[in-house]
């Protein structure tokens, strides 16, 4: 974001050697669901058959780069978290080398209204739950959305929050006077007898009632990278510890295969290596209750493995 602030969108494009004719900074900026040739017959079947989210089973987690993960329940319900796009305003320059794939999922979730998390129009989704608060149950999946606030004090090497203030001509972007895009919803997804928590870009110290709603979880998706863009290392450690997560999966870090260095993100290796860890050798991993035994804050790291460039 430092480059975007100094040079503007055109300067970022020139520095990166990118042709605007090859890739649009705006991309898909709306829902075109009416054009889809698909239908939700699968949802009707699931609705009729029912299911039990507390029943144990294998849950597949697939990394689609940045903060996008596809979670597939034991019965086959597919949930996509936080698909990304390039900034439609052009203010932050081009972050991504390609458009988000038109992934076919049953449920699309977006935690907040930032371009690197809200490309819900890019999904071939049976339903969209955008910034959802409250509870939703379908088949063997339960989703609880917990409304809180985005990180509003940049803890790392790039003071991107100061850039936001300049762009918006605002002195205060923190709650309670934040604009809509600094709202954030944490998602608790229960399936396979386990609890998966998507932190999104949430602040590191939400109020007590948020922690009470979260409770203890099994797997957490935590935003941490070498630039400390959203959470610094201590904040990330604190969030993992307070949730009691057995497995922590980093996100919001640099994947050079999909993301330009103009994003100012960096890989998460430095943080990963300070924990018990498993470097995954594929863009997806299957997790069961057995995999949780004996683990406490164990890091599963996808690194550059992602479904966009090396998935099948």
Residue 32 within any structural domain of the chain: no
Residue 29 within any structural domain of the chain: no
Residue 92 within any structural domain of the chain: yes
What percentage of the chain carries pLDDT values higher than 70?
90
Q: Give the range of the structural domain holding residue 119, as residue numbers without chain letter.
A: 2-20+51-301
pLDDT at 31: 76
User: What are the angstrom distances between the C-alpha of 1 and each of 80, 87, 92, 257, 275?
Assistant: 26, 12, 6, 19, 28
pLDDT at 311: 66
| CB contact set of 203 (below 8 Å; sequence gap of 6+) | 148, 149, 150, 151, 152, 184
3 state SS of 231: strand
Is residue 158 within 8 A of residue 1, CB to CB? The reply is yes
Alpha helix (H) ranges present in the chain? 2-16, 41-49, 160-168, 208-214, 233-243, 269-272, 289-292
Structural domain tally of the chain?
A: 1
What is the dihedral angle through the alpha carbons of 269, 184, 123, 140, rounded to the nearest 10 degrees? 90
Residue 227 within any structural domain of the chain: yes
Is residue 149 within 8 A of residue 180, CB to CB? The reply is no
| CB contact set of 243 (below 8 Å; sequence gap of 6+) | 197, 214, 216, 217, 220
What CATH number is associated with residue 255? 3.60.15.10
DSSP string, 119-137: -GGGSEEEEEEES--EEEE
pTM: 0.90
As averages over each run of 10 residues, the pLDDT of the chain (312 residues) reads 37 35 45 89 96 98 98 98 95 94 97 96 95 97 98 94 91 93 97 98 98 97 97 98 98 98 96 98 98 98 97 58
Residue 309 within any structural domain of the chain: no
Over the stretch 68-111, which tens digit does the pLDDT of each residue have?
A: 999 999 999 999 999 999 999 888 999 999 999 999 999 999 99
pLDDT at 7: 35
3 state SS of 300: strand
């Amino acid at each position: 974001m430092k480059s975007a602030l100094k040079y503007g969108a055109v300067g970022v494009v020139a520095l990166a050697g990118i042709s605007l004719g090859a890739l649009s900074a705006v991309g898909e900026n709306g829902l075109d669901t009416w054009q889809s040739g698909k239908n939700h017959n699968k949802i009707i079947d699931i609705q009729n058959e029912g299911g039990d989210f507390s029943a144990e089973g294998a849950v597949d987690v697939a990394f689609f780069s940045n903060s996008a993960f596809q979670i597939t329940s034991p019965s086959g319900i597919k949930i996509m978290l936080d698909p990304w796009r390039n900034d439609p305003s052009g203010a932050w320059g081009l972050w991504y080398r390609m458009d988000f794939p038109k992934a076919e999922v049953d449920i699309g979730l977006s935690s907040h209204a930032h371009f690197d998390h809200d490309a819900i129009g890019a999904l071939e989704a049976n339903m969209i739950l955008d910034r959802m608060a409250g509870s939703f149950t379908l088949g063997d999946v339960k989703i609880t959305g917990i409304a809180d606030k985005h990180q509003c004090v940049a803890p790392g090497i790039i003071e991107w929050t100061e850039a936001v203030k300049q762009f918006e001509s605002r002195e205060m972007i923190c709650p309670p006077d934040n604009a809509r895009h600094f709202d954030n919803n944490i998602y608790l997804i229960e399936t396979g007898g386990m609890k998966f928590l998507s932190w999104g870009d949430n602040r590191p110290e939400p109020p007590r009632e948020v922690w009470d709603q979260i409770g203890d979880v099994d797997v957490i998706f935590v935003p941490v990278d070498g630039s400390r863009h959203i959470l610094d290392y201590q904040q990330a450690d604190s969030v993992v510890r307070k949730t009691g997560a057995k497995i922590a999966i980093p996100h919001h870090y640099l994947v050079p295969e999909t993301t330009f260095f103009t994003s100012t993100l960096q890989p998460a290796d430095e943080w990963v290596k300070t924990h018990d860890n498993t470097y995954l050798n594929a863009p997806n991993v299957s997790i069961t209750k057995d995999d949780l035994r004996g683990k406490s804050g164990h890091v599963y790291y996808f690194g550059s493995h992602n479904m966009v460039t090396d998935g099948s």
